[in-house]
Amino acid sequence: MYDSILVPTDGSDTAQAAVDHAIDHAKRYDATLHTLYVVEEPPIDEGDAPEVLDAIESTGERAIQDVIDAARAADVGTVEGSVAEGAPYRAILEYVDQNDIDLVVMGTHGRTGLDRYLLGSVTEKVVRSAPVPVLTVGTEPAD
């Protein structure tokens, strides 16, 4: 049913909850697991603040590496990680298209989420526009 599963991550705890489900699906279906971190627009002027850009990129690389480590520890056969730039929802949809993704697994919320919204804006846009099923994973409310 699924050959290529994408779990986009922003490094948040909720994205991490999605990673657990994505790993389980990848194992069950013997699918390749892809993970993607998008460095958000507006892009920071590299000339002005290289250390800021580096910090954002290394946050992304760490988030990707955490997913890869968890997937390998769980014996997922093939894992691929990438970092993209731009509007996260657009980069996620492009990745789906370009990599023949057939299932997206993502958090209901991310780093900046306000509890009053049902879904974060990135997830909402991906759910609306993705040509494939999107599995959304939340975390237990804190109180």
Q: Which residues are at the interface with ligand ATP (CB under 6 A)?
A: 8-10, 12, 14-15, 18, 36-38, 40, 88, 106-107, 109-113, 120-123
41 belongs to the binding site for Mn ion (CB under 5 A) = no
Which partner, Mn ion, ligand ATP, none, binds residue 128 by CB below 5 to 8 Å per kind? none
User: How many residues in the chain?
Assistant: 143
For residue 107, count other CB atoms closer than 10 A to its CB.
28
Nearer to Mn ion by C-beta: 112 or 129? 112
110 belongs to the binding site for Mn ion (CB under 5 A) = yes
Closest-CA residue to 36 (of 12, 10, 17, 16): 10
Which partner, ligand ATP, Mn ion, none, binds residue 81 by CB below 5 to 8 Å per kind? none
For residue 89, count other CB atoms closer than 10 A to its CB.
21
Which partner, ligand ATP, Mn ion, none, binds residue 95 by CB below 5 to 8 Å per kind? none
d(CA 63, CA 14): 12
Give residues 49-108 in contact with Mn ion (rule: CB under 5 A). Answer: none
DSSP line for 87-118: -HHHHHHHHHHHTT--EEEEES--SS--TTSS
Least Å distance, CB 139 to ligand ATP, is: 10
Interface with Mn ion by CB under 5 A: which residues? 110, 112
